[in-house]
Structure 1
Amino acid sequence: MERPLNLPAAIDAAAEALVGVLDSAVSRHQLSVSPTQLRVLSLLSGRPETNVNRLAELLDVVPSSASRLCDRLEATGLLRRVADPRDRREVLLVPTAAAAALLREVRERRHAALQAVLDRMPGRVQQELLQALVCFGQAAIGSVEPQPGAPARTA
């Protein structure tokens, strides 16, 4: 299989289109949180042992900025601060059930928007895209399994 002339540019353009689809799926509906707050909730939902300092690192912001974001989320009932059972001096950030419901709603909207785009593509192309995305994801984290018939990678 030949590589397109400018594969990185094609991926960049596809990523822009993907971001547009995902953003429009959420922006058409009034959400009670900003995109940054939504990102915080998403980060925290997958990291149950996170404190404000760790959140600040994940967001690449100073701890005081992360703390203010958490203050706003806590005020809206989407986040709780709880004492770490292993060290009562530490405070963990825990998304509430309302946050989980919000994230589920956003994920469903995004999946529906993506499905609408995929439905305009032939099934064969969808399967090829799935395989390519899985391989890309593996390559991005450095664990690619060689595909049958593919040339060996050299360092």
Structure 2
Amino acid sequence: MEGPSDLAAAIDAAAEALVNVLDSAVSRQQVSVSPTQLRVLSLISTRPATNVNRLAELLDVVPSSASRLCDRLEAIGLLRRTADPRDRREVRLLPTPAGEDLLRELAVRRQRAVATVLDRMPYRTQHDLLVALLAFAQAAASAAGEPQKDPTVRTA
């Protein structure tokens, strides 16, 4: 490597390889859901108090576009809208059991796809990769103003 731009290019290529591995797990899914719809489902699954306006902010789209995405997910039975118990004027977005099942299945498929690639790597290289990715995540979180975590501590 000659400098930071060469390192960035190599990391970009490696990240592209990882994305391709993850995408291959998605392409074998049984339900026809777009990557954007999967992202919406994932966002609302990890943020139970999300409403359409908050989802629009997270996606950086106008609320009407977020609402249409939700309409499509609701139509195929992966999302439901429910009144917020604290303020019945607010509508929460929640994944249905089928939506949660799809996300779990997808996570398992992605983990298997990554494990298949990792199995081709020596253990020491796997460990070094983990430490480097955790440090990268910490630096990215720091840049985003999120709390710092020790990159050598593995979480479940």
**TM-score, length basis structure 2:** 0.87
Distance 1:91 1:146 in 2: 38
TM-score by length of 1: 0.87
Which structure's residues are more often helix, by fraction?
A: 2
Please name the residue that 2:91 is paired with. Answer: 91
Q: Where does residue 129 of structure 2 map in the other structure?
A: 129
Q: Secondary structure at the match of 1:141?
A: helix
Stretches (4+) displaced over 6 A: none
2:122 aligned with 1:119: no
- Which stretch of the first structure deviates more once superposed, 132-141 or 24-33? 24-33
Offset at 1:28?
3.1
Task: In structure 2, list runs of 5 or more residues that go unmatched.
Answer: 143-147
Give the aligned residue type for 2:60.
D
CA distance in 2, matches of 1:146, 1:110: 22
What does residue 145 of structure 2 align with?
none
Deviations 1:49-108 (A, max 9, x none): 100001011111111111011111111111110111111111000111111100001111
- How many residues align? The count is 144
The corresponding residue for 2:100 is: 100
1:33 counterpart SS class: coil
Cα pair 2:51 2:93 within 8 Å, conserved = yes
2:73 maps to a residue whose letter is: L
CA offset digits 1:108-142 (Å, max 9, x no partner) = 11111101110110000000011111111111111
- Aligned runs of 1:21-36 on 2, under 5 Å? 21-36=21-36
- RMSD of aligned residue pairs (Cα, Å): 1.6
When residues 91 and 28 of structure 1 are mapped into structure 2, their CA distance, relative to the original with a 3 A threshold, is same
Are 1:58 and 2:58 an aligned pair?
A: yes
The answer (yes or no) to whether the contact 2:83–2:92 under 8 Å persists in 1 is yes
- Note the residue ranges of structure 1 that are not aligned, 5 or more in a row: 148-155
Distance 1:65 1:94 in 2: 17
- Structure 1 residues 22-68: Cα deviation after superposition (integer angstroms, max 9, x where no partner): 11111134433111111100010000010000101111111111101
Letter in 1 for 2:79: L
Distance 2:24 2:117 in 1: 12
1:78 aligns with 2:85: no
Q: State how far apart, in whole Å, the 1-side matches of 2:120 and 2:77 are.
A: 39
